[in-house]
Every structure is written in structure tokens, then in C-alpha cells.
Amino acid sequence: METIHTLTQLLKNSGSQYNIYDLGRRIQKVDNSLFSDVEQGKQPYPFPLQKQAHLAIAYWNSEKQPWIWFLKFKLDERGLLNQGDVGNFLKFVIEAMGTRLSGEMSEDQQQKLSNNPYTFKPSEDKMAVFHSQVRAELDLPTSQYYEHAQHYFTGDLGWENWQTVGLQGITDICARLSSQQNGVAVRKALIKLPNEPLYATLGALEHTKISDKLAERIQELAENQINSQDPDLFLLSALARALSGAKNTINHAVISQILSSPRLSHQEVLIGLAGRSWQTLQDPIIAEQFLLRLAQTGNQTLFNQLFADLVMIPALRMIFLPLLNSSPSPELTNALLKLQQAAKA
């Protein structure tokens, strides 16, 4: 019998179809062949968060009812998976289920499999978004909350009557923006939603590819805050994060406007940009401006944490590392110097 060394081998060996998702930053697919290379140590994990890979693996058979594992693995300084950890998790799986995966598990098997250090439970809002996305992708029925949420987003129920709208219904809509005019309904509703459903909707959109028209509406709302005498920085942060799945030009325009203002570059806004909109930091000008604003918060601990986190992302490593040896503004130079001193301590 073939010895199984990787999750990819196990999944292929079982005859299941499967998708791999990153759950650390934005919920997004990790290409199966790319993940296979990561498992073999051929390349670093593409979306690390706090030096860890946060993964969801959904696998299914012909009935398309997926089984899901939520896994967390440590990464080394180069961003590579610890193959020993993967091997240890595989031992738990094979001991509980054998080498042919199937969803039918006894309580004893479930107990065996859950009793390992590599599984984790995502936050409730991320779990809702993830389940909606997987069900949309596999063309499975929506949750029981979907139709009621659709009805609410037309305005027919009254915008103030949001308490009966389930989060899972909102995430179902955001996972299906291109069907049943959902994208149009969300775009029209954004300017009318009370705070609670607005934040829930923006939170779901963070993990979704959005159309230009919807992105332009969110940009409009963000610019209202940017140009306000008394901006709501928490709302601005939520709007900026919701543009993570928009095309680059819109995303860049909003983030550049935020970073051009010290007043708007509150640390909550900067944390949100680092977590969700890190792709914009592939532009060296935006990256340097981001780090300058981060230095200007005066929170050296946060500066060190975010720099260390972002420099682990393969796409950003060669943007951030050269800054350590350059001479940007005095404030940024000082923050980078303190970062290096802390690293040596």
C-alpha cells in the first residue's frame, strides 16, 4: 500500500473531490496544485497570518454533501509548512478513518479525529461566510434564512426591522451576488441599512469578489467618510475592507486617500487594511505610506507585529525587506530601527 505523506495524497487516494481555502485573511481558495507544492516544501504558504496557515478543507463525493476540516499549522521563518505537523495530523486521520475518506463516522471515530492539536474553530461570522460560499460553489440549497434576508434587502419589511434577519441569510446573499438580482439589491440597500445589518453585510463582502457597480457604491460611501468633518473611522475601516474583492483601481484609490491623511489612518483602520487589503501593499509607494502611518500611531508594538506578519506574505517580502536598509522618513526610519533592535533582543 502506498505510504501517505500529504493531505493531497490522502484526498486524491480517497477518490473525493476537494477544495482548499485560506481562512486566515480573506476567505479565498488556494489552488490545489499550489497547495500540493506547499505541502512538499517547494514554496511558502501564500497567505500566512501570525506565522500560521489557517486552512479549511472541503471534500465531497458524488452526492456533493461536503465534509469540512478546519486546520491550523505553524510555518517556519521561510513561510514553509512543518511537514512533521502535517504527518502527525495524517496519523490522527488514518487512525480514525483509514486511508479511504468517507463521511460516515461513528462517535468514537469523531472523538478520535477531533482530539488533535491542529483543528480550530473559526469565528462565528467567518464560519457563516465560509458555509455560504461552499454551498454556493457546490450549488447546494441555501440556508433557511436566505429568502427572509432577500425580502429584507428589497426594503419591503422596513429597514428598521432587521432583528429577524439571520447572519447566515446575509452571507448567503453575499455568496450569490450574481444570482436573483442579489448584487443589485445589496447595492441599493447599502445607503439605507441601519448599522447592525450594514456592518454584517460589509463583513460578508470582505470575503467576496464584487462587481464594479457594487464597488463604486462602497467607494462612494467611503469617500463620504473621508471628506467628512467628523468621519466614523470604524465604518471607514469596514468599507475599506469590503473593497478587498474589488478591482485594484477602486481599492487603490480608496486606500491611497485614507493613507494620505494622518487623521484617517487610525490604527483600527490600518489593522483592517493589513488583514484584508494586503494586496494593495504590493505597490511599494502604498506600502511605504502604510508603514509611515503605522509608525505615526506611536504604537511600536503594533508596528512590530504588523511588519512581522506582513513580511511573511511571499508577495510582500521583497517589498518590505528593502525598507529595512533604506532611509525613508525620519519617523519610519526610527520605527524600523526599533523593530530591528526588538528582533535582536
- Give me the phi and psi of 70, to 5 degrees please: -110, 115
Q: In this predicted model, what pLDDT tens digit does every residue of 307-332 receive, in sequence order?
A: 999 999 999 999 999 988 887 789 99
Q: How much is the pLDDT for 99?
A: 61
Distances from the Cα of 263 to the Cαs of 240, 296, 302, 333, in angstroms?
A: 15, 10, 18, 21
Q: How much is the pLDDT for 182?
A: 97
Contact 24, 48 (CB under 8 A): yes
How buried is 121 (Cβ within 10 angstroms: 0-12 exposed, 13-18 middle, 19+ buried)? exposed
Q: How much is the pLDDT for 5?
A: 87
Q: How much is the pLDDT for 61?
A: 79
Q: In this predicted model, what pLDDT tens digit does every residue of 252-278 receive, in sequence order?
A: 999 999 999 999 999 999 999 999 999
Q: How much is the pLDDT for 240?
A: 97
Q: How much is the pLDDT for 1?
A: 47
Q: How much is the pLDDT for 106?
A: 63
d(CA 277, CA 258): 13
Contact 170, 205 (CB under 8 A): no
Q: In this predicted model, what pLDDT tens digit does every residue of 275-310 receive, in sequence order?
A: 999 999 999 999 999 999 999 999 999 999 999 999
- Give me the phi and psi of 65, to 5 degrees please: -95, 105
pLDDT, averaged in runs of 10, over the chain (345 residues): 82 89 95 96 95 94 83 95 91 77 65 80 94 94 96 95 96 96 97 97 97 97 96 96 94 96 95 94 95 96 96 95 85 92 82
